[in-house]
A and B are shown apart, each in its own frame.
Chain A
């Protein structure tokens, strides 16, 4: 019945698509009629249009900036028929401008300048002191810039010149810039450059040396030059990227940055290119305030944990929502901590927008609570063909070794431990349990005749490699003004720092956009990504993994014996016998093969001049196969089973269908209104199956023939599906571009919730005031931008697993008569009242730009309060259940974010820019069910405390001989670890555990300096974090116990009667009893400063590129992770080795991050 209904629903959808397609075909004929009508309407006004309007239209149609002088274009008009909607921009510009005696110049990738040769020449010829020159005005896209530039500089008559200065102004690519304003600082006296970028200016001779000229030009950074004794001054202006790229993508649309009422951060492709990385998350690290990207593993592709403004949920996902070109990525629970974004080629990205506050995220309603990351991919070209080839080669090395015992020290520790055995286990000692380890050093493969070790293996040297990586990205983009297409190809082969770990990726993407008719634009993209990884750092593993054995393999054991057999700890009796790390790396695989298809098609219909309908259909398919094999002889891993093999297949399919209307209108020049109204459907299906087997006769088969294992394991599979149905709307209203209001609302319905609470409404409201536009600010010249904004809104989190509202039953497996029998019994306590988790967010922001935005600040304060928190809330176990999905509890995040950009120097071809950002977030759990603690991973979730608080004993060092009787009360001896008896009840037990640290930082940020000199670029990118702790769990096996595996060198500081002031217990054989606990000794200050990237690039100048018939040629060399300054003794304090949401900073056998030396080349044709 249900199935039938769903099928009929799908048929409905496909019918409407068919309708859509047939309509499109049918409407072609209608379009002609439309053109006729359009023309006829214009005929009544003379079939001519104002040049200014035409240029404005080009601006938006082609997504470029067209700059012109008001005087140049005023009064000029164009015959409509000269404009061809299918032609390229440059062709259209030519058609329009040539008859008027104007021409255009391309000043950079997306800016064009309209030049009137005659006018400028005239100005230059007559030495413009008495001329009234109207400076350039940019067309509609950047009114803010235009208005901050004085519209008219009236240059009064002054005394005759006594000295003349001349020169040429060029762009960074050495193109002459016409129309640049050259003004004597502190006066209104000046001129503009001519068509060749040349200027001549008379300056008063008196004090000439002290005179400073200010060069300014829209879209470029102002530059000041002291005249000194020079009479010729050549200037190169640098583009102001920040101003030129001011359009930002928001949910379901784009907005000018100046019009934003919300907190949105942007990263452009150029910034990502400075630090080529395997995943978007790695590239995003440190770019945006409030976005904490912790790259927790050094493995290829990393394993990043992203938190936007802190953790908002205790038991539901805390990851942001990713939206790629409008397609929402849904899959959760991918293997080993992966997220779907890991399967997107970062080179395809044109820009990333991070939506942080409720004003920005509310349009994503039920899924916006953790912030939204919008990714816009690169499209085709609207101005002719382009070919780009980007490549880089790198080598990663281990930046730091952890000091471990060498062979001699290891044996010495074992000897001392034996001597202490009687003290700690008198009964065992009397029973003859302990033997002098010297007597077992007889194996001739390991020891010489006198018991000295033959080997002294450094397992860090053996296990890590110089990790070579190559990356090739090739793109073809073409098109005219109406149609454009792009083909993007990528290949990446990244080797891991740990041997045998790697990532290989083939990526291909095709994009296509077409202005089919004047009223309809269609397009789409299809991308395919094929990725294969061998991941050697399984999450949450306390078992034997390669990175554990790097620390624990005995130095007295070789990698291999002369006869080719692997060495292992088991070869030396009495050891906890994990294999050596190289052996594990060679004989164990965890291959993750992922094929991802991401596609979308859209159509934009211009229903009226102001009303547009966009319809999009997107799909995301992730097929992931995980192949595992562990060899027949791997101790503690698969030896008991005689080898284990498993294949897991996961298929995540999702589709979404969205339709929305956008209305955009300006009334009476004062009121601008943008309205958005839409609806969406989305469906997600996940199917998982797993087959596993054990006990092989030979390692040959690996996972390729599960039938070859003699002990097949029970197979498993599961199917999960859920749907979402949403209605959303937004109104942006602007009054005189000064007062901005945004109201947003979304209604989401989800199949995951009980029918009574299926739908929920998520509203938000925001206000912004562009103070700088006020009249009273006109005279405050240093302030070039001042905006305050505030927002409040509600967003949701619905990432619970499906079917929680139902009383689902579970499988049980029991044995009768030696065979498996299946049971079906209680599974889940149903909660039909389940509803949405909601996050209420308040944000207030301030944007300030000084000195023509040479110095700009953005400051935000926010408070996020999560209520109705979805919890797998514990219920009394007496019910037969442990938890129920329930809405209880609340949590708060408060924080500040500050971003600062400064152009420190910009003169004489030298520019120095600084970007600094810092974020502070304080997280606090307000309420939980009945106030009870929840233990998640190694942390406790407790009221009034931040999530991610470590829990454990207070380590007070070791008991001294003077404290012998006191120690005895706790059944301890001098030399044992001394824990604080927190509740002073005379025993150390669970009641003495307290909060001992936290993995979440107080503050984090980035300091980025870029230096440009002529064609050279130098970037120094520093990352910092403070107030975060690391729970160094590797100490459990590498410090708390000795003599059964190798240890950290720190154990040499262990307790002895002569060395009693130490945190490390006296050596003793492990079976004599030892203490090991999560305690304060393991909690380490994880604050750090990292040299994230040091990059030197050289862009070849135009003459050379021209000679090579290239458009662009850039070479660079960089060192990533070039230094790390921290007190933490492990590999890297930016770490987490479990999959639990709050286990940030938990370090157990982590995969270190490499220091990467890279060279790269960008070639554009």
Chain B
């Protein structure tokens, strides 16, 4: 009897142990407490704001610097007007010498960051309409998303040509996970649609905090129309007209004006105001910008930054091709070739080359080594030049067109243009674009859109294909586009690489 009890006890204990806990059917259910999922987000108005904010993040990805260079330099070295002292930055050197391949990391960053921005925009565009919130605020949120999506696609279509057009969130089972390339026509159409909608989204005309604005949407749209008028779509006069009209809307709104001094272009106190229509936002000590160490010469001891990489500077021939008396080419306007030593600010050294002053943060170099500068994406000077160029193409050199370009020239202490033929005016405006918008990631786009390159020796424009850089390499047809990144071609066999890569 006792034996039975004892045995039973032992077994009971055993069984209890064996099966304790096995009843927890939810044991393997784990919630991620640190992160929302797409499924459980988008329930509150604040979620719309946060989701829109995420789209802005990838604007900054291509800026920056460091010992490997930075993606934005790809568009500068592609012009043949830039040089580097950073021997290890192979990505820059391959582009500069026109031996670029699809393995180039800079191109990959452009591709990836643009589509990440688009992915976040698509998520907003798909999910925010379902949030119960103030309808006007909702419309503005969607307007920002549409503007940013257009911005990213505009970069993609110009850099890579035919690209996949994704307008809705992608999941593992989506057909759009492995998309085909859309025609440039289709991509531009989407860009225009998005910008037209963004224009009407009720956004303020300007935004001092740095968010997308109606003014930014109109300015970008003007530029898009100008590109559509040129290569590859060649939509011609109609689109020049559209570009001129849209740019004129910005000009006549009287919300923007040129800075009186070039120093304001790289002054942290002039963020998002005056000439600066839309910028990538940075803030010292919080999210400082990263290109300062790239635009100073290699280890000449001029900066409070300890790393001086000389990653990019202007070709001598280009800077010396500016018109005589052009203020922009003078010391410490757009470029600098001397600076004081960091350990002895009384001694100035000749740096032996033209370094970029446009993006130079004086305070950071002198003391803080922490830059507060924004990166300009759209500034008023470009809108003026867009207007001048487009108006001339649409209806010849009108007084308004002269005025637009002469505003730029006057600031550069250059005489007004006058009495030019349409053709002369055209080239004069181009030249202003080259000189005014240098090293702002504009020039290469202009070269591709016009299929022209600027010969720094003859100071004339010649055909893109066959143009010889001042240091030797010759542009070929393939350089009208950058190669689609190798990984993307490999991962999606529906894609076709651009010719020549």
Contacts and interface: CB of A to CB of B under 8 A. Distances in A.
B411 interface: no
Interface in B209-240: 209-211
A605 B18 CA distance: 12
A669 interface: no
B10 A605 contact: yes
B122 interface: yes
Contacts of A8: 24
Given A13-B20, A880-B116, A808 B36 contact: yes
A881 B487 CA distance: 13
A802 interface: yes
B253 interface: no
Interface in A813-845: 813-827, 829-833
- Specify the main secondary structure of chain B where it touches its partner: loop
Contacts of B51: 823-825
Nearest to A20: B17
Interface stretch (B299-307, B325-333, B414-422): B299-307
B154 interface: no
A434 interface: yes
B209 to A, nearest CB: 4
Contacts of A26: 9
Interface in B276-335: 281-283, 285-287, 297-301, 304-307, 310, 316
B190 interface: no
Interface string B1-33: 011011001111110111011111011111111
Nearest to B84: A1073
B28 A880 contact: no
A884 B172 contact: yes
A1148 to B, nearest CB: 13
B30 A824 contact: no
Contacts of B174: 879
Contacts of B123: 825-826
B29 A751 contact: yes
A24 B10 CA distance: 9
Contacts of B11: 607
B444 to A, nearest CB: 19
Interface stretch (A379-387, A496-504, A545-553, A869-877): A869-877
A314 B115 CA distance: 26
B85 A1070 contact: yes
B37 interface: yes
Interface in A1-48: 2, 5-6, 8-9, 12-13, 15-17, 19-20, 23-24, 26-27, 30-31, 33-34, 36-37
A5 B24 CA distance: 8
Nearest to A8: B24
Interface stretch (A526-534, A853-861, A983-991): A983-991
B104 to A, nearest CB: 7
Contacts of B487: 874, 877, 932
Contact of B177 (A34, A431, A434, A876): A876
A930 B112 contact: no
A1075 B87 CA distance: 6
B28 A723 contact: yes
Q: Which of B21, B285, B492 has the most CB of A within 10 A?
A: B21
A641 interface: yes
A718 B34 contact: yes
Interface string A569-597: 01001111100000000000000000000
Contact of B41 (A824, A878, A933): A824
A1044 interface: yes
B30 A802 contact: yes
Contacts of A576: 299
A879 B177 contact: yes
A657 B21 contact: yes
Given A718-B34, A989-B100, A879 B283 contact: no
B350 interface: yes
Interface in B461-494: 471-473, 485, 487-488, 490-493
B170 interface: yes
A813 B5 contact: no
Nearest to B341: A573
Q: Which of B6, B47, B485 has the most CB of A within 10 A?
A: B6
Nearest to B111: A877
Interface residues of B, number: 115
Interface string A629-661: 000000110011110000000000000010101
A810 interface: yes
B6 A33 contact: yes
A720 B34 CA distance: 8
A749 interface: yes
B37 A807 contact: yes
B211 A816 contact: yes
Interface residues of A, number: 129
Given A822-B53, A971-B97, A574 B299 contact: yes
Counting chain A CB atoms within 10 Å of each CB, the highest count among B38, B51, B101, B282 belongs to B38
Nearest to A1037: B88
B352 A432 contact: yes
A176 B238 CA distance: 113
Contacts of B24: 5-6, 8-9, 12-13, 681
A880 B50 CA distance: 17
B6 A30 contact: yes
Given A605-B13, A695-B285, A989 B99 contact: yes
B56 interface: yes
B437 interface: no
B305 A640 contact: yes
B487 to A, nearest CB: 6
A878 B54 contact: no
Interface centre among B31, B100, B493 (most CB of A within 10 A): B31
Nearest to A931: B490
B22 A679 contact: yes
A554 to B, nearest CB: 13
Contact of A431 (B3, B120, B271, B352): B352
Most buried by A among B287, B300, B350: B287
B175 to A, nearest CB: 11
B172 A829 contact: yes
Contact of A820 (B30, B179, B271, B283): B283
Given A432-B350, A605-B14, A989-B99, A6 B21 contact: no
B423 interface: no
B37 A431 contact: no
B27 A813 contact: no
Contacts of B14: 605, 607, 613, 661
Contact of B101 (A16, A809, A991): A991
Contact of A574 (B300, B316, B369): B300
Nearest to A810: B35
A679 B15 CA distance: 12
A725 interface: yes
B245 to A, nearest CB: 31
A1077 B90 contact: yes
Given A30-B5, A720-B32, 12 more contacts: A16-B16, A17-B20, A433-B353, A679-B18, A818-B271, A823-B56, A824-B53, A875-B491, A878-B115, A880-B119, A929-B491, A930-B493
Interface of B: 2-3, 5-6, 9-14, 16-18, 20-24, 26-39, 41, 47, 50-57, 67, 83, 85, 87-88, 90, 94, 97, 99-101, 103-104, 111-112, 115-116, 118-120, 122-123, 163-164, 166, 169-172, 174, 176-179, 208-211, 271, 281-283, 285-287, 297-301, 304-307, 310, 316, 350-353, 369-370, 471-473, 485, 487-488, 490-493, 495
Interface of A: 2, 5-6, 8-9, 12-13, 15-17, 19-20, 23-24, 26-27, 30-31, 33-34, 36-37, 427-428, 431-434, 519, 542, 570, 573-577, 605, 607, 613, 615, 635-636, 639-642, 657, 659, 661, 679, 681, 683, 694-695, 711, 717-725, 749-752, 758, 802-803, 806-827, 829-833, 874-882, 884, 929-930, 932-933, 971, 987-991, 1036, 1041, 1044, 1070-1077
Closest 5 A/B residue pairs (Cβ)? A880-B119, A433-B352, A16-B20, A825-B54, A823-B54
